[in-house]
Structure 1
Amino acid sequence: MKLLICLCSYAGYGFLWIASFFPLPMMYWVTDILFLVLYYGIRYRRGVVDMNLRNAFPEKSEEERKRIARRYYRHLCDTFAEFYKLWHISEAEIKRRCVMMNLDVPHHYFEQGRSVIVFAGHYGNWEMMYSYKLWEKGIELIPIYKPIHNKVFDRMTYLIRSRFGATPLAKADTLRVMLRNQKEGKICMTGFIGDQTPNKHSLNFWTTFLNQDTPVMEGTEKIARKLNQPVVYLNMRKVKRGYYHAEFYDLCSDPQNLEPGELTRMHTRMLEKFIRENPEYWLWSHRRWKHKRPAEQR
Structure 2
Amino acid sequence: MIKKGFSSLGVGLLYLVSLLPYFILYLIADVLFFLLYHVTHYRRKVVQQNLANAFPEKSLAERQSIEKKYFRFLADLIVETIKLTTLSQEEVIKRVRIENRQMLDNAAFKKGKSIIGAVGHYGNWESGCLRMGLITERPCIIAYKPLSNEVFDRFFYNLRTRFGAYLVPMKNTFRKIVSHRHEVTFTVLAGDQTPSREEAVYFTNFLNQPTAVFLGVEKLAKATDSLVVFCDVRRVKRGYYSCTFVPLFDNPKLTAEYEITNAHVQYLENVIREEPQYWLWSHRRWKFKPTI
TM-score scaled by length of structure 1:
0.92
1:200 corresponds in structure 2 to: 197
SS in 2 for 1:287: coil
Query: 2:129 matched to 1:132?
Result: no
Alpha-carbon offset, residue 257 of structure 1:
0.3
Q: 2:35 aligns with which of 34, 37, 41?
A: 37
2:72 corresponds in structure 1 to: 74
Superposed, which structure 2 residues align to 1:1-298 within 5 Å? 9-108=7-106, 109-129=108-128, 130-136=130-136, 138-182=137-181, 185-295=182-292
Letter in 2 for 1:252: F
Alpha-carbon offset, residue 192 of structure 1:
0.1
Letter in 2 for 1:83: T
Matched residue count: 286
SS in 1 for 2:7: helix
Deviates more, 1:20-29 or 1:255-264: 20-29
Q: Structure 1 residues 87, 116: CA separation in 2 closer, same or farther (over 3 Å shift)?
A: same
SS in 1 for 2:199: coil
Alpha-carbon offset, residue 258 of structure 1:
0.3
* 2-structure distance, mates of 1:236, 1:262: 22
Letter in 2 for 1:187: V
Letter in 2 for 1:131: R
* 1-structure distance, mates of 2:248, 2:61: 36
SS in 1 for 2:244: strand
Alpha-carbon offset, residue 262 of structure 1:
0.4
Alpha-carbon offset, residue 135 of structure 1:
2.9
Write out per-residue CA displacement over residues 150-208 of structure 1, whole angstroms, 9 at most, x where no aligned residue. Answer: 333322221111112212112231111112212xx111111000001121112221221
Alpha-carbon offset, residue 53 of structure 1:
0.6
Letter in 2 for 1:133: G
Letter in 1 for 2:232: N
Letter in 1 for 2:47: V
Alpha-carbon offset, residue 244 of structure 1:
0.4
* 2-structure distance, mates of 1:276, 1:83: 24
SS in 1 for 2:211: strand
Alpha-carbon offset, residue 85 of structure 1:
0.8
Question: Gaps (5+ residues) in structure 1?
Answer: none
Write out per-residue CA displacement over residues 1-53 of structure 1, whole angstroms, 9 at most, x where no aligned residue. Answer: xxxx7xx6121011001111111221111111111111111111111110111
SS in 2 for 1:280: helix
SS in 2 for 1:250: strand
Identity of aligned residues (%): 41
Alpha-carbon offset, residue 219 of structure 1:
2.6
Write out per-residue CA displacement over residues 87-118 of structure 1, whole angstroms, 9 at most, x where no aligned residue. Answer: 11122222221101111222220111111110
